[in-house]
Structure 1
Amino acid sequence: MTLSPKQIDVLNNAQEASPHDVLGMHPAKRGKLSGLVVRCFIHGATGCDVVETATGKSFGMECLADTGLFEVFIPRRRKVFPYQLRAHYGSGEMRQFFDPYSFLPTLGEQDLYLFNEGNEHRIYQKLGAHVREIDGVKGVAFAVWAPSAKRVSVVGNFNHWDGRYFPMRSLGSSGVWELFIPGLKEGELYKFELLDQRNHLRVKTDPYGTYFEAPPGNASIVHGTRNHAWGDQAWMEQRAAGAGTIDRPISIYEVHLGSWKRQMEDGGRPFNYRELAPMLADYALEMGFTHIEVMPLAEHPFEGSWGYQVTGFYAPTHRFGSPDDFAFFVDHLHQRGLGIILDWVPAHFPRDTFALAEFDGTHLYEHADPRQGAHMDWGTLIFNFGRNEVRCFLVANALAWLDRYHIDGLRVDAVASMLYLDYSRNEGEWIPNRHGGRENLEAIDFLRETNRLVHDYYPGVLMIAEESTAFAGISKPVADGGIGFDFKWNMGWMHDTLSYFQKDPIHRKWHQNELTFGALYQWSENFVTVFSHDEVVHGKNSMLYKMGAWHIPEKAANLRALYAHMWGWPGKKCLFMGCEFGQSHEWKYAGSLDWDLCQYIDHEGVRLLVKDLNHLYRNEPALSSSDLDPAGFRWVAAHDTEGSVISYLRQEKDEKTLFLIVGHFTPQTRENYRIGAPRRGRWREVINSNSEYYGGSGLGNGGEVHTQDVEADGFAQSLALTIPPLSTTIFKWSAE
Structure 2
Amino acid sequence: MAFLCLQRVLHGTGGGEMRYEIGQVLKKDQVMKLVFGKCSVPKQILGRHLVAGGQVIAACHPNAVRMRLLAEDGSVYEMDMVERQPVFALFLPHRERFAYQLEMYLRSGEKIVHYDPYSFPCQITEEEEREFLRGRWRNAYHKMGCHPMEIDGVRGMYFAVWAPHVQCVSLVGDFNHWDGRLCPMNRMAHCDIYEIFLPGVEEGTGYQYEVKTTEGKIWRVADPYGVAREFGKISKMLNVKSFPWEDSDWMEKRRRADQRNTPMVIYNILNREPEEIEAVPVDVFTHVLISKKGGRDILGYRVYSDGGDFFVPPAGGEDPDDFRRMVQNAHRKGIGVLLEVSLESISCEKPEVTDFLLSNLLFWMTEYHIDGFVFGEQAGDSRSWDDRFNNIEVKDEAKETKVSLDTESRRAMLRQAMGMIREEAPGVIIISDEQNLIRPDGAVSDMEDKLFDFSWNFNIKWSLDEYLSCDSAGRRRDHFKLTLPLQKSGLGRSLLLLDYKNMNNLYQTSIDKSEEVYYDMLSEAKLSYAFLTGIPGKKILSDDVRDDKIKNYLHRLLRMYRTYPSLYEGGEGEQVFEWVNGMDAVSSVISFIRKSSASEEHFLFICNFNTEALISYRVGVPAFGRYRLLMSSDAAEFGGKGRFVNQHPAVIRQPCDFRPYSMTVSLPPESALIFGFGPAFHSI
Per the shorter chain, which TM-score range? 0.7 to 0.9
Q: 2:288 aligns with which of 287, 292, 305?
A: 292
CA 734–17 in structure 1, closer or farther in 2 if over 3 Å, else same: same
The amino acid that maps onto 1:496 is S
Match of 1:430 in 2: 400
d(CA) in 2 for partners of 1:514 and 1:157?
61
Aligned to 1:721: 665
Aligned 1:553-564 pairs, distance under 5 A: 553-564=519-530
Matches within 5 A, 1:91-240: 94-215=111-232, 218-240=233-255
1:543 CA drift (Å) = 7.7
Amino acid paired to 2:254: R
CA-based RMSD: 3.3
Mapping for residues 319-718 of structure 1, pairs under 5 Å: 319=316, 321-347=318-344, 349=345, 382-383=346-347, 385-415=348-378, 429-431=399-401, 440-467=407-434, 471=438, 476=446, 482=449, 484-523=451-490, 526-531=493-498, 551-578=517-544, 581=545, 598=546, 603-626=547-570, 628-654=572-598, 656-702=600-646, 704-718=648-662
What is the distance in 1 between the residues matched to 2:380 and 2:605?
A: 36
Give 1:431's aligned amino acid: T
User: Contact (CA 8 Å) 1:298, 1:313: kept in 2 or not?
Assistant: no
Report the CA distance between 1:469 and its aligned residue: 9.1
Shift of 1:604: 1.5
* 1:561 and 1:727 in contact (8 A); partners too: yes
CA contact (8 A) 1:213 1:318 kept: no
Higher Rg of the two aligned structures:
2
Moved more, 568-577 or 110-119: 568-577
- The separation in 2 between residues aligned to 1:80 and 1:708, in whole angstroms, is 96
- Deviation by residue 1:598-632 (Cα, 9 ceiling, x = unmatched): 4xxxx211111110011000000000014655421
Q: CA deviation at 1:135?
A: 1.5
Distance 1:685 1:626, change over 3 A: farther
Bigger mean CA offset, 698-707 vs 444-453: 698-707
Query: Which residue, 20, 30, 35 being the options, matches 2:43?
Result: 20
What's the % identity of the aligned pairs?
A: 28
C-alpha separation in 2, matches of 1:305 and 1:638? 33
Instruction: Report the CA distance between 1:148 and its aligned residue.
Output: 1.7
SS at match of 1:616: helix
Task: Tell whether 2:86 aligns with 1:57.
Answer: no
For residues 438 and 95 of structure 1, what CA distance do their matches in structure 2 show?
A: 53
Question: Which shows bigger deviation, 64-73 or 95-104?
Answer: 64-73
Instruction: Give ranges in structure 2 of 5+ residues lacking alignment.
Output: 1-11, 13-21, 383-395, 510-514
Opposite residue 66 of structure 2, the aligned amino acid is G
> What letter matches 2:68 in structure 1?
D
2-structure distance, mates of 1:438, 1:27: 49
- Which digits, 9 at most, give the CA deviation of each residue in 1:442-480, with x for residues without a partner? 333211110010111111111111346995776647xx7
1:6-62, CA deviations, whole angstroms, 9 ceiling, x for partnerless residues? 566543432333211211122357xxxx44332212354443321111x11111223
Q: Paired residue for 1:374?
A: none
CA distance in 2, matches of 1:154, 1:417: 30
> Does structure 1 retain, via aligned residues, the 8 Å contact 2:207–2:235?
yes
Q: Write the distance in 2 (CA, Å) between the matches of 1:342 and 1:474.
A: 24
Deviations 1:180-214, CA, capped at 9 Å, x for gaps: 11111211222222233333323222221111222
Give, in whole Å, the separation in 1 of the partners of 2:107 and 2:665. Answer: 93
* Bigger shift: residues 606-615 or 81-90: 81-90
How far apart, CA to CA, are the structure 2 residues paired with 1:226 and 1:5? 42
**Does the 8 Å CA contact 1:27/1:80 hold for their aligned counterparts?**
no
Please state whether the residue corresponding to 2:194 is helix, strand or coil. strand
Counterpart-to-counterpart distance in 1, 2:471 and 2:295: 43
Hey, what does 1:41 align to over in structure 2?
60
Q: Give the drift of 1:81.
A: 2.3
Partner of 1:377: none
Q: 1:709 to 1:78 in 2, by over 3 A?
A: closer
Q: Distance in 2 between matches of 1:90 and 1:51?
A: 20
Q: What per-residue deviation string (whole Å, max 9, x for no partner) do you get for residues 460-510 of structure 1?
A: 111111346995776647xx7x58321111111111111111112343111
Q: Secondary structure at the match of 1:676?
A: strand
* Contact 2:81/2:87, CA 8 A, preserved across alignment: yes
What one-letter code is carried by the residue in structure 2 that aligns with 1:697? K
Task: Tell me which amino acid in the other structure corresponds to 1:98.
Answer: Y
Aligned-residue offset at 1:524: 6.8
* More displaced stretch, 316-325 vs 132-141: 316-325
> Which amino acid letter does the alignment assign opposite residue 245 of structure 2?
W
1:122 CA drift (Å): 0.9
1:115, 1:543 → 2: CA distance? Answer: 53
Q: Does structure 2 conserve the Cα–Cα contact (< 8 Å) formed by 1:570 and 1:628?
A: no
Deviation at 1:115, TM superposition (A): 0.3
Distance 2:666 2:567 in 1: 23
5+ residue gaps, structure 1: 261-272, 350-381, 420-425, 582-597
Instruction: Describe the shift of the 1:222–1:672 C-alpha distance in structure 2 as closer, same or farther (beyond 3 A).
Output: same
Q: Which residue of 2 aligns with 1:358?
A: none
The whole-number CA distance in structure 2 between the counterparts of 1:702 and 1:57 is 97
Give the 3 Å change call, closer, same or farther, for CA 528–299 of structure 1 in structure 2: closer
1:626/1:651 contact within 8 Å kept: no
Deviation at 1:677, TM superposition (A): 1.3
- Whole-angstrom distance in 2 between the partners of 1:27 and 1:470: 55
Give the match's secondary structure for 2:618.
strand
Q: In the alignment, is the contact (CA less than 8 A) between 1:100 and 1:180 conserved in 2?
A: yes
| 1:241 alignment counterpart | 256
Deviation (angstroms), 1:109? 0.5
Deviates more, 1:510-519 or 1:59-68: 59-68
CA distance in 1, matches of 2:55, 2:586: 96
1:254 and 2:268 are equivalent in the alignment: yes
Q: Deviations over 1:153-175 (max 9, x none)?
A: 21222222222221122212222
Mapped to 2, the partners of 1:704 and 1:654 lie a distance apart of: 27
Question: Tell me, what secondary structure is at the counterpart of 1:213?
Answer: strand
Q: Structure 2 counterpart of 1:41, which letter?
A: C
